[in-house]
Amino acid sequence: MVSIEEAFERIAKQRPVRVKQDVYLSEAVGLHLADVVVSPMDIPVFDNSAMDGYALCGESDTYRIIGEVAAGSQSELTLAPGQAARIFTGARVPKGTTAVIMQEKTLVEGHALSLTEIPAAGANVRIKGEEIRQGQEVFQAGHYINAATVGMLLSLGITSVSVFARPRVGILITGNELVTAGEPLGEGQIYESNGGSLQAALQQLPVEVTGVTKVTDDLESTSRAIRDLLDEADILLISGGISVGDYDFVKEALAQNEVEELFYKVDQKPGKPLFFGKRKHQFVYALPGNPASSLTCFYLYVTPLIHQFLGGAAKVPERVRLGHDFEVRGARPTFYRAKVEEGVATILDKQSSSMLHSFALGNGLVFLSPGTHNKGVEIPVWYY
Q: Quick one: which of 319, 316, 299, 317 has its CA closest to 379?
A: 319
Confidence at residue 114, expressed as pLDDT on a 0 to 100 scale: 98
Domain that holds residue 197: 4-18+166-310
Is the Cβ–Cβ distance between 304 and 8 less than 8 Å?
Answer: yes
Q: Is the pLDDT of residue 245 over 80?
A: no
> Burial, 339: exposed, middle or buried (Cβ in 10 Å; 0-12, 13-18, 19+)?
middle
CA distance 50 to 90: 6
pLDDT range class, residue 334, cuts 50, 70, 90? very high
- Shared-domain flag, residues 272 and 331: no
Q: Quick one: which of 317, 326, 329, 319 has its CA closest to 347?
A: 326
Convert the pLDDT of each residue in 213-239 to its tens digit: 999 989 999 999 999 999 999 999 999
Neighbours of 338 (CB within 10 A): 25
Q: Quick one: which of 354, 350, 346 has its CA closest to 294?
A: 354
Q: Is the pLDDT of residue 248 over 90?
A: no
- Shared-domain flag, residues 236 and 287: yes
Q: Is the pLDDT of residue 243 over 90?
A: no
Convert the pLDDT of each residue in 192-203 to its tens digit: 999 999 999 999
Which residues face 190 on adjacent strands? 178
CA distance 11 to 263: 10
- Mean pLDDT calculated for residue range 356-366: 98
CA distance 55 to 123: 10
Is the Cβ–Cβ distance between 174 and 57 less than 8 Å?
Answer: no
Confidence at residue 90, expressed as pLDDT on a 0 to 100 scale: 98
- Mean pLDDT calculated for residue range 277-299: 97
Convert the pLDDT of each residue in 119-170 to its tens digit: 999 999 999 999 999 999 999 999 999 999 999 999 999 999 999 999 999 9
Is the Cβ–Cβ distance between 187 and 346 less than 8 Å?
Answer: no
- Shared-domain flag, residues 194 and 267: yes
CA distance 247 to 289: 12
Q: Is the pLDDT of residue 246 over 80?
A: no
The CATH number of residue 95's host domain is 2.170.190.11
Q: Is the pLDDT of residue 338 over 90?
A: yes
Q: Is the pLDDT of residue 305 over 80?
A: yes
Q: Is the pLDDT of residue 247 over 80?
A: no
- Shared-domain flag, residues 12 and 100: no
Which residues face 263 on adjacent strands? 276
Is the Cβ–Cβ distance between 365 and 335 less than 8 Å?
Answer: yes
- Kindly provide the b/e burial profile for residues 6-16, where b requires at least 16 CB atoms within 10 angstroms of the residue's own CB: ebbeebeeeeb
Higher pLDDT, 380 or 244: 380
- Shared-domain flag, residues 158 and 80: no
- Shared-domain flag, residues 69 and 100: yes
Convert the pLDDT of each residue in 46-59 to its tens digit: 999 999 999 999 99
- Please count the structural domains in the chain: 4
Percent of the chain residues topping a pLDDT of 70: 99
